[in-house]
Each structure stands twice: as structure tokens, then as C-alpha cells.
Amino acid sequence: MDIKNFDTFIQVAELSSFTRAAEKTGYSQSTVSFQIQQLEKNLGIQLFERVNHTVSLTGKGREVLAYAHRIRRLTQELEKQLNREQTVSGHVRIAMADSLCSWLLKDDFQGFCRRFPQVTLKIISASTEEMFRLLNQNEVDMVYTLDNHIYNRTYRIAGEEKVNAHFVAGTGYDLGGGGLGGGESISLEDLVRLPFLLTEKGMSYRRLMDEKLAALSLEIQPVLESGNADLICRLVEQGMGISFLPDYVTREALTAGKIRHIHIEGFEIDIWKQLLYHHDKWVSPQMQAVMEYLSDKHCGGTAAGTRPFGGGKDKIDEIL
């Protein structure tokens, strides 16, 4: 069997299209069709269902896809072993929560660029729902979420970390009655009446906070909404209002004494940073390099790589 046929098979499976696979591989559509037919003949099975111009894997096709990925990885490892000076290069597309975009460029991103000068990135800011739409259509290579912990065997985890988030205010901001001194607090009912600066409605931790408040019959009407969490943090430092932000955004300002947490007893939200890619996606060298950087620097060093989600209730439907 020709190994190139397996590569073409992977492309058709990922793109769900002979036409798009031909465009990506540089082959003609007739060549792609011939390679798949040749592979089906060699294996003695049908790999794809072809109905009304749509292409989807058969049950046996999904089994073969797992082996095709293994063959591709082994071929890559062999090439790497034979040529240790091989340079990692290529383009990687990442969809992520808006407030994680600027964070990606912190924490030694310059070091990553020096190590992999021929790896280029495209970052797409999107809601969790949109991220998975892009991932399922192979329009991005991986997603970097900031949301509920997601369980779904369709996706594999490359890194994850639980994130704490708090209501925050500038150190001199007057909460009105409660104040910020001496560890005093304020009721949630009074807090939501104050001027809030928040990230965009429906996005990641903002959506989780709104859902938690709605369950308590409460709602915040912010005076400012922005996808730039760092900007919101700076405005909070200046006393422009209060906000609800992840601790990784506010850590420096908190340490410097520019802001402080507003403690609301019983108000806790389960938020996770998760780096995910599709179960059927071939992990290219450039993808592996980016996943290792993100998991080591931003997801607690999990670096699970090819470990699929296991067990538990499928929660992704709650988000999508």
C-alpha cells in the first residue's frame, strides 16, 4: 500500500470533502478519488459514505483513520530520527477566548519564537460555541477555552488548568457602606447595582457569571463592555468601576496593591482553561510545538498530548 494514499485519506476525513482535500494536497480531484479507491481496494472495505455530495466516514473508515494517524506519526518519527537537524515549520490556527489572546503573548512567547522561527500562528478570538464549530469544520487546528470543564470523547486534551475568578475593585474604590478596608464585604444584591466593567456578554467566564446571577434572580447592567480583559483591569485600578476577572489577569495588580478582591460568600464559579483538538486531527510537528508551549506555560504543564477526555457526563452539549 502507498503511504501517500493514507495521507490523502486523512485529508479527506478531516475536511469531509474530496474537493477541499484536492485543493489542500495540490492533487487533482480525480487523483484524490483514485487514491481513496485504491486504498479501499487494498483494504477490502468502504471508507466513506458518499450521499448527495456529502462525504462521511463509515464505521470501518473511522477504525482505519486511527491507524492512518499512527502510520503518519511513525513516518514522521522515522524522518526526524534520520534527519535530526530537520526544522519545525508550518502554520497553526488557534481559536481562543478573547481574554486569553493577549495572555498568549506573555510568559516567554519571544522564547518560543526564537526556538521555532518558522512556525507561524493565526489567533481567532471566538465564543466557546464558535470555537467548536471552527474545530469541527477543520477551520482551526485547536481551541483554547476558558469555560466549564468540557467532557467529550470527540476531542483530546493537550493541557488544562482550573482558574479562579473574583469580583475586583481598585484599592480606594468606595463600595458604599461596606468599604474595602478591614476585609469588609458587601452583599451580592448591593454589588450588582454598582458600575461594572465587563468582558463581552455571552463570552466564557462572563457568561458563567451571568448564568450564576440569573439563577439568583440578579443581573448586572455594565457601564462598559470590552473583550480586552487587561484594559478592564487597568480601568478598575483607576477606580472607574468594578469587575469580575480571572485571577491570572489581575495577579500583577493585586500583588502591587492596586486592586483587591471583593469577597462574596458562596459565589464561586467553576472555570477551566483547556487546550483541545479534534480526536481525528493529525498532530503536525508545528501543532505539537505550540501545544507544548501552551500546556507548559499556561495550562499547568499537563501536556497530555494524545490523551482523550475520559469518563464523566458529556458536558459540551450544555455549552453548544
Can you give the pLDDT at residue 297? 56
Mean pLDDT, residues 16-41: 89
Which residues, including other chains, have CB under 8 Å from residue 23's CB and lie 6 or more apart? none
Reported pTM: 0.66
Q: Nearest to residue 22, comparing CAs of 36, 43, 40?
A: 36
Most confident listed range (22-26, 51-55, 294-298): 22-26
Comparing 98 with 20, the larger pLDDT belongs to: 20
Band the pLDDT of 95: cuts 50, 70, 90: very high
Kindly indicate the confidence band of residue 84, based on its pLDDT and cuts at 50, 70 and 90.
low
pLDDT of 100 reads 79
Over residues 263-317, the pLDDT tens digits come to 888 888 889 999 999 988 888 889 998 988 887 655 544 433 434 333 333 343 3
pLDDT digits (tens, 9 = 90+) for 204-234: 889 999 999 999 999 999 999 988 888 999 9
- Residues 171 and 258 sit within 8 Å (Cβ to Cβ): yes
Which one of 44-53, 82-91, 163-172, 308-317 scores highest in mean pLDDT?
163-172
